[in-house]
Amino acid sequence: MIDRRAFLAAPVALAACGSGEAAVVPIERPVPSLKSIAPFPIGAACMTGQLSDRVWSNLVSEHFSQLTADWEMKMEYILQRDGSFRFDAPDRIAAFARDQNLRLFGHTLIWYAQSHPWFEALTGDRARFAAEYDRYIATVAGRWRGQVVGWDVVNEAVSEDGQGLRDCVWSQGLGGIDAYILRAFEQAKLAAPEAVLFLNDYNLENNPVKGATYLRLVERLLKAGAPITGLGTQSHLDIDIPAGQITVFMRELAQFGLPIHVSELDASLRDDGRLPDLRPRRQRIERQTARVAELAEAFMALPRAQQFAFTTWGVRDIDSWLRRGDKDDGQDSPLLFDAKGGANPMFHAAANAFAP
């Protein structure tokens, strides 16, 4: 019998070329169904425009068991300027997930980046602001009660540099940063008591200072009685962070004993605004796959009860937020599948870690 893990990890072949250098000739490797080999749900972010895309839907059916709405479950989409709600797009995603027997994950109830005009107009009236805050969470989290398995209740509360927490319309309207977070979790628990309730943030593996601030926030909120029942790390990975850094953070995160969600995985090959990256593409892919492999292995090392789900922020490279608008140079490959639905090297890195 062939050892699947060894087979998936097989190295690329080298062939001679005219320059005297070795050219990379990938060995054909099987593409196992991720959801069939992973002992936990495999998730992907989606938008309604992708639901009728046959290549996308076939990949989802084969490899994924959970969906997260990319932005159509966010306040930016749902809440209108007059305080009314629209649910057409998130309802379509919920129906698709139900029809395809996929778990549905809710993203996100409260996010600093979406300071909605409806709430901005109420910041001088704390009682009204609080009532509308509660109404929004109750309406949205309650709409898919029993279907949504978890919610990103508060998203990205820690500042960009990790030195503190973000002051925003929510903290201003409710009298403090901890106050708005605590209230959001209390209201989410009332509206969706069966769902796992997550505090979600990014750059936690990439920036140890930010990771430490996040961990202190979790500890403080739990001591204050916040019903946080899950921890979300987005995992938009910097491919150049030191080896081992992801593993260290995942171990620290696991100390709370709560379910952990790798909630928005991607790994850009671009320089992200720094000096031009002149390294060969092959070298950057090697760094990318090493970081993804480390993340997948660190997640696999968690106790089973803490493995909530492993989610990528999109399915194919062309679905990625990193490939939208002027960000798309056609070269970045941050996700598991290429534009045609073929498995990228980072797919095999994850599959090798998940294989029994």
> Which residues are marked as active site?
156, 264
Q: Are 262 and 204 contacting, i.e. CB atoms less than 8 angstroms apart?
A: no
Three-class secondary structure of residue 186 per DSSP: helix
Cα separation, 204 vs 143, in Å, equals 31
**Cα-Cα-Cα-Cα dihedral of 169, 172, 174, 177, to 10°?**
90
The phi, psi pair for 41, rounded to 5°, reads -65, 140
Which is it for strands 42-46 and 66-69: parallel, antiparallel or unpaired? parallel
Cα separation, 313 vs 42, in Å, equals 11
Q: At a CB cut-off of 8 Å and minimum separation 6, what does 281 contact? A: 269, 331
Which is it for strands 22-25 and 13-16: parallel, antiparallel or unpaired? antiparallel
Cα separation, 171 vs 216, in Å, equals 18
Alpha helical stretches, state H, the chain: 4-8, 34-37, 54-63, 75-78, 88-99, 117-120, 126-143, 169-174, 177-191, 208-223, 245-254, 281-300, 345-354
Query: Which residue carries 């628990």 as its tokens?
Result: 189
Cα separation, 47 vs 149, in Å, equals 18
